[in-house]
Copies of this chain bind each other. A is one copy, B any other.
């Protein structure tokens, strides 16, 4: 038996409508709170949208789960951010065009400065999809200088490099005390080899794309030991028709398997005792959170992941995991 105290998923895509109803209960079952990304259509840029979206999530996720809401980064006034602050955990910045529904994102990083200064003053964290333009395997690396400049220019602004995928990204954490990172489950498990080294696997396609073995090694070290690296699944469901298609959408639906698969990995790495820190304690410290107290229990008992949840193929579909959630 493994007991996790108030596990947190610091990066989820809960979508809208029927998909929200399908996927949110999986996150709500295994986590007491989750950071909800704002890349809807249209993006969540108004406080009224935040409150409305939060309401809709609570309706399907139940009372034992707290959605931690975000605003889509754009230029905001001090008054706007002051009004939003009690209702959000941070602002999520997407460089334009880098992932699903990010077309409204930022095209010129210099335009961010005024809003970043207000966020620093109001102590509102910045969550970044850290990819710039360029060749797909280099996009995180080419964006890191922007992250470094902001971390240096705004030393009291907490910056979270979301779904870090590279050794260079992990190494940047050591240069700035105000820099944090989320690490996904799938980037701890796969490399580009799994995506297209054999047959090509649309259900392993995500953004940022999985990188090299040495990058995965660095992510694993960070997940185990880095005080400012914590779990964010980036669970990102798409219907099977959008995945097994001539243009396959980016995203891996990992919510139903996140804790069991993490337990399996940490056990394999002989580090089960570090899982609590990775899935809860470090995020609490980073954000100054006091999540509701709830225990999530896992048993070391074989569990075969279903091939589908509704229209969505989950990560690790059909595979048998050593652990399962038994609440």
Contact = CB atoms under 8 A, between A and B. Distances in A.
Contacts of A244: 244-246
Contact of A248 (B193, B200, B249): B200
A43 B195 CA distance: 27
Given A202-B202, A244-B244, A196 B136 contact: yes
A199 B238 CA distance: 13
B200 A200 contact: yes
Within the oligomer, what is the number of copies of this chain?
A: 2
A137 interface: yes
B205 A196 contact: yes
Interface residues of A, number: 27
Nearest to A248: B200
Contacts of A200: 200, 202, 205, 247-248, 250
Interface string A195-234: 1111111110100010011000000000000000000000
A179 interface: no
A51 interface: no
A138 B236 CA distance: 29
A313 interface: yes
Interface of A: 135-137, 191-193, 195-203, 205, 209, 212-213, 244-250, 313
